[in-house]
Structure 1
Amino acid sequence: MTSEGPTPGYLVWRLSIRWRVAVDRALAPLGLTHAQYVLLASLYGRERAGARPSQRELADHTGLEALYISKLARALEADGLIERARDPGDTRTVRLSLTAHGREAVTPAIGTVQALLDRLLRPLGGRDAPRAAQFVRDLETLLDAPL
């Protein structure tokens, strides 16, 4: 922080940490961590769009490291939440899909996180408010900028 106030980097870091902690706490009663939720919810969304993503595609989509996605996917498979299968066209590629149990687990988790998001964005007027939409555009701009 400078004497003039916190830097944008500090504020992004604080918001990120605050969000992660809030999501972890909200999902704990459902038996999920934030990272597990990110993989499951992303997989759910990709499947609804008609895709069967690879571990690499989910890593790119979520921003998580490919090795971490691989370890997370193995653990979720052991818990019966997802299935991992080699792609017949490229055996180096592992495709992921939700099991019925995985869909049952992620559906209430998505609702829980959406409610949390509503609370987070309330100071900006709510999820559908112009300020929230501008906030999303600003975040996307920052995420798209090379470091």
Structure 2
Amino acid sequence: MSTEPKGPTPGYLVWRLSTKWRVAVDRALAPLGLTHAQYTLLASLYGMQRSGHSPSQRRLADHTGLEPLYVSKLARTLESAGLLRRTPDPADTRAVQLSLTPEGRETAGRAITVTHELLDRLLAPLGGLHTERTEALTRELRLLLDAPLDAPPRSPTRPTSASSEE
């Protein structure tokens, strides 16, 4: 039996979908003057602040999955645009806390609306954003995202014989 995949591999399809999504978000947010990466930072900060948190750049990097150095660069750009503030963390002189400005909250809210509408259109083949098929896809994606990158490879299953030790 051949082990060659028939058609594209799951990895290739995830990469293609990720690329399609990034391009679609960049296009949808261009009128707001945002890139997908900037949106990720603003929307995450918006949600964290609504939950009562004032995260550090490092915590926001961990939350978004972006590299801390990249978050720092994005934060500086968004600060220059008047969308967020960077302030020293009183508990840790090496850390910088981030908070949205009033303009940043308004821009984040508009951007979130735009991306949710885009997501609903992208998920139309599954019935839309709030369907059982989309919920199932979301569960599977979370399962894959939660798996550690350094997990040991699974060894091929071998038939066991009655004489093998257990």
Answer yes or no: same fold by TM over 0.5.
yes
1:67-101 CA distance string (max 9 Å, x none): 00001101111111000111111111111000011
Residue of structure 2 equivalent to 1:61? 63
| Count of aligned pairs between the two proteins | 146
Q: Secondary structure at the match of 1:126?
A: coil
1:31-46 equivalent positions in 2, closer than 5 A: 31-46=33-48
Distance 1:17 1:66 in 2: 22
Identical amino acids, percent of aligned pairs = 67
Distance 1:144 1:104 in 2: 32
Deviation for aligned residue 1:3? 6.0
Q: 1:134 aligns with which of 133, 136, 146?
A: 136
Q: Secondary structure at the match of 1:96?
A: strand
Q: 2:21 aligns with which of 12, 19, 22?
A: 19
Distance 1:12 1:55 in 2: 28
Distance 1:9 1:3 in 2: 11
Q: Secondary structure at the match of 1:75?
A: helix
Q: Secondary structure at the match of 1:53?
A: coil
Distance 1:53 1:90 in 2: 12
1:50-129 equivalent positions in 2, closer than 5 A: 50-129=52-131
Where in structure 1 are there 5+ consecutive unaligned residues? none
Distance 1:27 1:89 in 2: 35
TM-score, normalized by length of structure 2? 0.85
Distance 1:127 1:30 in 2: 23
Where in structure 2 are there 5+ consecutive unaligned residues? 150-166
Q: 2:19 matched to 1:9? A: no
Give the alignment's Cα RMSD to 1 decimal.
1.0
